[in-house]
Amino acid sequence: MTYPKTGGTEYGAAQATPWVAINDAQRRFDALANRAIIVDRDLTAPPGSCADGANYLVAGSPTGLWSGQAGKMATAVGPNAANGWQFQTVAVDRFRLGVQDENVELEYQDGSWVNLTVTGGGLFTLPVMAPAMVARTSNGAAAGSSESPTNKIMLRTFDFDSAADEFVQFFVPMPKRWNEGTLLAEFIWTAGTTGDVVWAIQAIALSNDDPIDASWGAAQTVTDGVTAADDVMISARTGTITVGGSPADNDLVAFQIYRDADNGSDTLSADAKLIGIRLLITTNAADDS
């Protein structure tokens, strides 16, 4: 019989040369120490040279001494595998491997190895809700608060009139890992009747010692419609928002949102109630170090 996870041989008291099985088992447990560190996971044949005890995850369609062992961990027995190779199954759910040549951590999940290591940036969401915003002194949207009739869900919004453009603003101290590039936005809103609204957003980056009264970058818009009164609506993403100024690490970025009420595509005849937005920024690092 063999042990179900490591594949080691289980032996009886009367078994001949039991030390063979003991050595085999010890080798297997030694290979799994430190959560199993492997040198490489891309090889389909044994390397020309390796250290005693070096581990490899055998890639698909292996050849030579690794033939028929795809997906298993191969452990060298002796320097340069002088005494051969030992193989064991490591494709067990939630088992982890550290891969030296890639400097990554893998975990076996639902039939495949998943990379757990965050190695870089990507698209990152920054939610900003209405209570974090402020209405402009000139042509500002009205702050609103309402309660749903049955389940008493409270809603704090900024309510944008249909007759004229109205504005709100907010600041975001941008994370250092922001790549200082363009942004995207999605609008979360509702209204008491159906119709379309043209939402707009623009931004300006402010570095240390910059004047606050700086010119906004170009606005980007997105048109979204209420399909049923008092439903939550989430718009499509805007086009790419170019942040005004000269964006740099750790900038304070000011944002301005408005309803483009005089746009021909804006057909909602009632207040458009802004609940919040999602800002999508591109990052170029895993953290802000």
Percent of the chain residues topping a pLDDT of 90: 74
SS3 8: coil
Q: What is the pLDDT of residues 62-94, one digit of tens each?
A: 999 999 999 999 999 999 999 999 999 888 888
Residues 209 and 252: beta-carbon distance below 8 Å: no
Predicted pLDDT at 286: 77
Of the pLDDT bands very low, low, confident and very high (cuts 50, 70, 90), residue 116 is confident
Chain-centroid distance of CA 233 in Å reads 24
**CATH of region 123-282:** 2.60.120.260
Helix (H) or strand (E) holding 147: strand 142-147
Strands 37-38 and 96-99: what pairing?
A: parallel
Of the pLDDT bands very low, low, confident and very high (cuts 50, 70, 90), residue 34 is very low
Predicted pLDDT at 5: 47
Strands 184-190 and 233-234: what pairing?
A: antiparallel
Average pLDDT, the chain: 90
Q: What is the pLDDT of residues 226-266, one digit of tens each?
A: 999 999 999 999 999 999 999 999 999 999 999 999 999 99
188 closest CA partner among 135, 124, 145, 231: 231
Predicted pLDDT at 32: 56
Where helices occur in the chain by DSSP H, the ranges are: 18-32
Flag the least confident range among 24-28, 169-173, 262-266, 269-273: 24-28
Predicted pLDDT at 111: 87
Residue 28 pLDDT exceeds 70: no
Length of the chain, in residues: 289
Predicted pLDDT at 93: 87
Domain ranges of the chain: 18-115, 123-282
Chain-centroid distance of CA 289 in Å reads 18
